[in-house]
């Protein structure tokens, strides 16, 4: 597992876990800011992403495997605590332009990444001010080396994860929590999500939920789009404890 780390080894640790199609690099702003405030920041490339190993079998990307990876990482750090159809679509386009389209896009339509989005990714897309050509190059070069099979296997395991987690149906998350997302994050506009977040559903599942923050004007990659605001949210939340 490839891990980026910054901050004193004996400082309180903060684990940053990226999503799709991202890398440890997605947390670069938070790593610099939070480590400068006295924390040890740890950000892995998740299984199948970037420089971390990518098992060939999709079943090796279940939620148990992913959580196990993170637990093993924390243990090591001595803290308490084959190409398919989609890959072939990705292989036909410029990785750099694909990331420009993915990271720059905002909207509340029905699909986060349609086949049409992939096929048109060879067209140049303008970059928003929060991301640079150098940032895009980092993502593109990493995915050019690792491919998309590992990251796509997360989605191939969705049904398996529901089955594996069935014994925990109704279980609550009982740790202090602050939930942050962007106003234009596609997932925020899925049917029922706003009611779940703002009308007590999430609070019922996460009893120690302190706040739901919707960052105005931001999309899915909120920690990059509004870096300083997210840095402050994270730090101010930690300092309560």
Position 81 confidence tier, pLDDT thresholds 50, 70, 90: very low
Q: Which residue has the tokens 């990331």?
A: 99
CA distance 201 to 234: 23
Distance (Å, whole) CA 90 – CA 75:
35
Q: Which CATH number fits domain 3-169: 3.40.50.1820, 3.30.390.30, 3.50.50.60, 3.40.50.10320?
A: 3.40.50.1820
Q: Tokens 């993915």 belong to which residue?
A: 102
pLDDT of the residue at 233: 98
Q: How far apart, in whole angstroms, are the C-alpha atoms of residue 196 and residue 36? A: 35
Q: Structure pTM? A: 0.75
Partnered with residue 3 across adjacent β-strands are 44
Check residues 160 and 211 and name the one with the higher pLDDT: 211
Under DSSP, is residue 50 helix (H, G, I), strand (E, B) or coil?
coil
User: Given pLDDT bands bounded at 50, 70 and 90, which one contains residue 110?
Assistant: very low
Q: Where are the domains of the chain?
A: 3-169, 170-241
Q: What is the pLDDT of residues 42-80, one digit of tens each?
A: 999 999 999 999 999 999 999 999 999 998 998 888 775
Q: Which has the closest alpha carbon to 135: 214, 221, 220? A: 221
CA 63 to CA 60: how far, in whole Å? 9
Give the tens place of pLDDT for each residue, 5-29: 999 998 999 999 999 999 999 999 9
Cβ count within 10 A of residue 190: 12
- Please list the residues that pair with 212 across neighbouring strands: 179
Contact 219, 182 (CB under 8 A): yes
């Amino acid at each position: 597992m490839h891990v980026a780390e910054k901050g004193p080894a004996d400082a309180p640790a903060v684990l940053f876990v990226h999503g799709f199609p991202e890398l440890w690099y997605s947390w670069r702003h938070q790593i610099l800011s939070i480590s400068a405030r006295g924390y040890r920041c740890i950000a892995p490339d998740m299984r199948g992403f970037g420089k971390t190993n990518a098992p060939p079998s999709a079943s090796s990307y279940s939620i148990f495997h992913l959580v196990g990876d993170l637990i093993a990482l924390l243990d090591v750090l001595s803290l308490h605590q084959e190409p398919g159809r989609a890959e072939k679509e990705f292989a036909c386009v410029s990785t750099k332009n694909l990331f420009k389209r993915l990271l720059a896009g905002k909207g509340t339509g029905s699909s986060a990444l349609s086949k049409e989005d992939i096929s048109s990714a060879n067209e140049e897309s303008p970059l928003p001010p929060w991301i640079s050509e150098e940032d895009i190059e980092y993502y593109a070069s990493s995915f050019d080396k690792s491919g998309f099979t590992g990251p796509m296997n997360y989605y191939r395991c969705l049904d398996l994860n529901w089955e594996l987690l069935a014994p925990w149906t109704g279980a609550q998350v009982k740790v202090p929590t602050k939930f942050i997302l962007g106003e234009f994050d596609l997932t925020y506009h899925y049917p029922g999500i706003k009611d779940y977040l703002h009308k007590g559903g999430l609070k019922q599942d996460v009893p120690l939920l302190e706040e739901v923050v919707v960052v105005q004007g931001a999309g899915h990659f909120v920690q990059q789009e509004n870096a300083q605001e997210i840095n402050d949210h994270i730090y101010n939340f930690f300092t309560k404890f």
